[in-house]
């Protein structure tokens, strides 16, 4: 069985084609600048790399372009699109739908209900799903929602302190996200660290969240109702007092929609630094003495530590802390700063191991009671497995 896993942005389509018999990646690629006169279509199949420029007006055409490369007569890894058994979407927010579903009008309607809660994610996913569903193809379309892994969190971690009827009637609660990544870390740590029942998964990247995992299940996470919450994101605000919004509107003359748009697109690390939300740019700027870049780094690390502290209490301690995601995997200095000064809590990082860590690697010191690991995530594999499981039913 072959599953094409899709990760969508408003103007991008990234994918992996996975052979599920041995869970190997046959191909990976991307289509960028969707909607522009010239879009870039790239693919890697073994040693073969191909890049084409063509007009890709919408995501439906992006999938067609991707399939054309995968079926390339000379270098392709499949003979026809009929060999693809499913397209699995790493869908973000389904509101009342939290799980894995064949995509139909009811699922799409639920996603549209949450479009204002996940404005950067749901609209492009819904548009692409509709385009593909209407194209007449026979490939099953499946949504594996990021909120699924967090359905095991107890009510005390899911409810806000608002009138309970709002929570129940309007689905206003802490959903949590990055579920496919946190699920992978839960599965992989069980294999790498037998007996580690209490794990804190740190998915740090352009979008970041932490998750408390007990016996392979999520019992708490840092994101809430929307992907705008929790840790500061690269350009999204993170946790923020809603009662500051009327003051901002009064002082700036901006409308509510304009303020929310700025918080969602000009906040986070970008807003703090005034320059970039990319961790590499911030570290370079801080090294050159830019105080605002340093502030953005300090706030990010401080928030990771603050929220990790809450999850440590929730779990009653941790057997393992795992760093994953773009920053979690590549940011040796961020990992070191997050763990700095925690020796009395039994958390001690080895600076030498941490500085050279690659792949799956333990980076804790010999004196650390808590294991600290760098583990690259594999969200696509989790989505593919979920697709196989659903189709098997």
Residue in 54, 223, 239 with CA at minimum distance from that of residue 150: 223
Q: Is 361 annotated as a binding residue?
A: no
Q: Residue 256 in 3-state DSSP?
A: helix
Residue in 97, 149, 153 with CA at minimum distance from that of residue 125: 97
Count of all residues that appear for the chain in the document: 393
Q: Is 129 annotated as a binding residue?
A: no
- Give the CA count within 13 Å in the CB-facing half-sphere of 47: 0
Task: With beta carbons less than 8 A apart as the criterion, state whether 240 and 231 touch.
Answer: no
CA 187 to chain centre: 17
3-state helix, strand, coil in the chain (%, to 5): 40, 20, 40
Bridge partners of 321, per DSSP, are 200, 372
Residue linked to tokens 């199949």: 45
Q: Is 14 annotated as a binding residue?
A: yes
Q: Is 278 annotated as a binding residue?
A: yes
| Counts of helices then strands in the chain (DSSP H, E) | 15, 14
CA distance 210 to 212: 7
User: What DSSP element (H or E) covers 29?
Assistant: strand 24-32
Residue in 199, 318, 207 with CA at minimum distance from that of residue 269: 207
Residue in 89, 95, 77, 180 with CA at minimum distance from that of residue 133: 89
Task: With beta carbons less than 8 A apart as the criterion, state whether 327 and 279 touch.
Answer: yes
Tokens of 295: 């502030």
Q: Which residues are annotated as a binding site?
A: 7, 14, 278-280, 379
Pick out the residues of the known binding site for Mg(2+).
7, 379
Residue set of the binding site for ATP: 14, 278-280
């Amino acid at each position: 069985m072959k599953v094409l896993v899709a990760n969508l942005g408003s103007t991008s389509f990234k994918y992996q084609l996975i052979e599920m018999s041995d869970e190997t990646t046959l191909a990976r690629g991307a289509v960028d600048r969707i909607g522009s006169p010239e879009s870039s279509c790239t693919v890697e199949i073994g040693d073969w790399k191909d890049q084409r420029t063509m007009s890709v007006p919408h995501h439906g055409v992006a999938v067609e372009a991707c399939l054309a490369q995968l079926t390339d007569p000379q270098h392709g890894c499949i003979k026809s699109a009929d060999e693809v058994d499913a397209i699995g979407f790493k869908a973000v927010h389904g509101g009342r739908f939290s799980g894995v579903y064949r995509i139909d009008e009811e699922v799409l309607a639920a996603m549209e209900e949450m479009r204002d809660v996940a404005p950067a994610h749901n609209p492009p996913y819904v548009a692409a799903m509709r385009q593909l569903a209407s194209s007449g193809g026979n490939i099953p379309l499946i949504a594996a929602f990021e909120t699924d892994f967090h359905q095991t969190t107890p009510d005390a971690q899911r409810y806000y302190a608002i009138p309970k009827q709002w929570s129940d009637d309007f689905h206003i609660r802490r959903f949590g996200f990055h579920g496919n990544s946190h699920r992978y870390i839960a599965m992989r740590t069980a294999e790498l660290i037998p007996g580690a029942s209490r794990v804190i998964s740190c998915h740090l990247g352009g979008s970041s969240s932490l998750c408390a995992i007990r016996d392979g299940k999520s019992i708490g996470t840092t994101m809430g109702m929307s992907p705008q919450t929790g840790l500061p994101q690269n350009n999204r605000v993170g946790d923020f007092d809603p009662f500051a919004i009327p003051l901002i509107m009064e002082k700036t003359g901006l409308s509510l929609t304009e303020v929310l748009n700025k918080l969602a697109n000009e906040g986070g690390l970008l807003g703090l630094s005034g320059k970039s939300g990319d961790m590499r740019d911030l570290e370079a700027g801080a090294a050159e003495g830019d105080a605002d870049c340093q502030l953005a780094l300090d706030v990010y690390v401080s928030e990771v530590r603050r929220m990790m502290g809450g999850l440590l209490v929730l779990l009653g301690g941790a057997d393992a802390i795992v760093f994953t995601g773009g920053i979690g995997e590549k940011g040796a200095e961020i990992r070191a700063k997050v763990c700095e000064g925690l020796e009395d809590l039994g958390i001690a990082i080895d600076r030498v191991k941490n500085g050279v860590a690659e792949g799956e690697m333990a980076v804790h010191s010999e004196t650390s009671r808590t294991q600290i690991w760098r583990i690259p995530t594999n969200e696509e594999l989790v989505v593919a497995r979920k697709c196989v499981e659903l189709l098997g039913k």
